[in-house]
Structure 1
Amino acid sequence: MTVHVLPIWVKNPYNCPEVNTTLSSGMYRELSPFILGPIDTYLPGVQSQTFENLWQFSKVYFEYLYDGAIFWSWFAWRDAGWADKRAHRYPMGKGRKPVFSYWDGERLGYIEARKRIYAPIYARHVKMTDSYAQLAGLYSEGGEITLKDYDAYDHITMGMSLVNVINNPNRKMGHAFVLAMLLEDVLEGCLKQ
């Protein structure tokens, strides 16, 4: 059983069903981080309205730091982002790199944030959607599927496992890879390695 992950703009070379996992994709739209929500945070009673905002507004940027300490204004910015129903992919502008992600009192590097925030929280919530149930059904029927996403690449033709994908600091890892980990039942192993 195989899950292929491809960029949205690449023609599917595989002879299997294809699912667009992004915002514009009808019955599968709940798979999109822009739609998925609300999402529980580590703060009691506080939710992010979308998964995308949970992820993006957990990132801390240079201008919110002074002598290593996080300014109070970052917490206000984060809280406003989590409360916003409109998803923001680049809340600080495209191409900006955070210094770290902040989660439950911890500062997490890029890969650690994927493993502690992005992959497990997205997986936990997406599994509760009708869209995921339909996707899992389609996959189990044929045993092979292609998932399309913006932050994607054909890891299989590159000789990469999903463990390699989650641990690769040089490539983005979109939600379609987390879906692949769920469908192939390797998420827990990917998070631990």
Structure 2
Amino acid sequence: MVRQNRFLIVVALLAALLLLAACPAPAPSGGGEAAGGQAVTGGEQAAAVQREIVWMVRTSTTENPWEKDVAIKAFEESQSEIKVNLLIIDQPDIAVKREAMIAAGEPLHVWSTNWGGDGFASDRARGLITDLTPLIEKDGVDMSVFIPEVLAIYENEGKQWGLPFLTTGSYVFYNMDLFDAAGIEYPTTDWEDKSWTWDAQLELAKKLTQN
């Protein structure tokens, strides 16, 4: 569980950071003057401006505390140039809210293509998402932390258009009494055990099947 939590934190922070990298900082209006009459150059002004990004997420009593108190907190503690604003929307309303924000030109930088809209392919075709490939290469992101099969979902034309930041699990429930009666060992509970496959589950089901 500790390993899984660390994985999710890393994924979320990378997703936010990479998407932000495509958003330019507000342009300075020119030179200024600091306290004591010292001149401030445009470059120094730009460096002093804290950029903000909006991360749209769905309402969830379990996900929201993690997003706010773990992912965002860790990210903002690691640097001071970027502030993340969490926008929490009920999932049934995300599609309408997202389209309204896009149409109005309101800032929206990070979201899940699975929540609202027509999905990843549609968002990419509409030009709503950024090719992350050059940003990944520039920052030397370790892509091995991602599950290859999940990462491939967001690949197209040799480019990486998104990064997974959340995984959910499917569970198998079984009657232990049936296993005991048949003298069969219980299925593994080790999620690293590669022997537990669909074929293994099917064979186990055949052994338990009576009549």
- State TM-score, norm by structure 2: 0.28
Say which one has the larger Rg: 2
- State TM-score, norm by structure 1: 0.30
Q: Which has the higher contact order (CA 8 A, sep 6+)?
A: 1
